[in-house]
Amino acid sequence: MITYNEIHEAVRKERGEKLQLQPLPKNFIEEVATYLREKKEFSSKTNDDFSENSIKNKKQLENARTLFKELIFRRREKILHLLLIATETGTSKRDFENMLDFEAKMFENLLKSIESSDIQVNAMILNGRNEIKSEPPHIASEETDDREIFETKKDDSKQFVIFVDEVNEFMDLNGEMLGPFQKGEKVELQKEIANILVEDKKAEYVYS
């Protein structure tokens, strides 16, 4: 199992390289998730919250979560830099070798979105338009029902999914534990997490 020192070392290496992603074990996320879960379980079972072991355990749990969030943030910055290179030069400078699976999927999804946007902009230019027309703002009428009001206020950073298979407890991109989830269970998750689950055929999108 991964140790606190190994998590700290991974962050140290990521800090040391401004642009290049550092290699991580393919099961790094799962290892960190297991580490955090066991630390959390230890804290819940201890009878003395002020014992030396208990205080040390809680401190390591807090620090490990902070380090993990920093690691994900720094790697995401580097991936966005690679994304800009790929879109601006048209070359394939994609450091997939050092990307974790969910990072590679995120990169591909973002690249497709940018390419799709570029196609739309180029089409407008070819058609002689000199500005991008935006959709007029939606103004709710007196007949607007509660469902429409809810939809205009929903969080675009999240997505509802329904699980088509059982999924064990796992860690999200903020270092928080999610799950376990049962087949048929409907939940709202971060879009990045939802996309990964759908691509892995563990869940399906819910739009209603």
Q: Where are the domains of the chain?
A: 4-123, 146-206
Q: Which pLDDT belongs to residue 89? A: 72
> 10 Å Cβ neighbour count for 172?
16
For residue 107, pLDDT beyond 50: yes
Give the C-alpha separation, 91 to 98, whole Å. Answer: 18
Architecture of domain 4-123 in this structure: Up-down Bundle (1.20)
Cβ–Cβ < 8 Å for 133, 160: no
| Side-chain-facing half-sphere of 6: CA atoms under 13 Å | 11
Q: pLDDT band for position 174 (50/70/90)?
A: low
For residue 10, pLDDT beyond 60: yes
Residue 81: what residue type? H
For residue 150, pLDDT beyond 80: no
Q: What is the mean pLDDT of residues 45-72?
A: 87
Does residue 111 or residue 76 have the better pLDDT?
A: 76
Q: Which pLDDT belongs to residue 140? A: 42
DSSP 8-class letter at 166:
-
For residue 157, pLDDT beyond 90: no
Q: Which of 62-71, 89-98, 140-149 has the lowest mean pLDDT?
A: 140-149
- Tell me the pTM: 0.62
Q: What is the mean pLDDT of residues 144-158?
A: 51
For residue 95, pLDDT beyond 70: no
| Side-chain-facing half-sphere of 104: CA atoms under 13 Å | 10
CATH topology of domain 146-206: Ribosomal Protein L9; domain 1 (3.40.5)
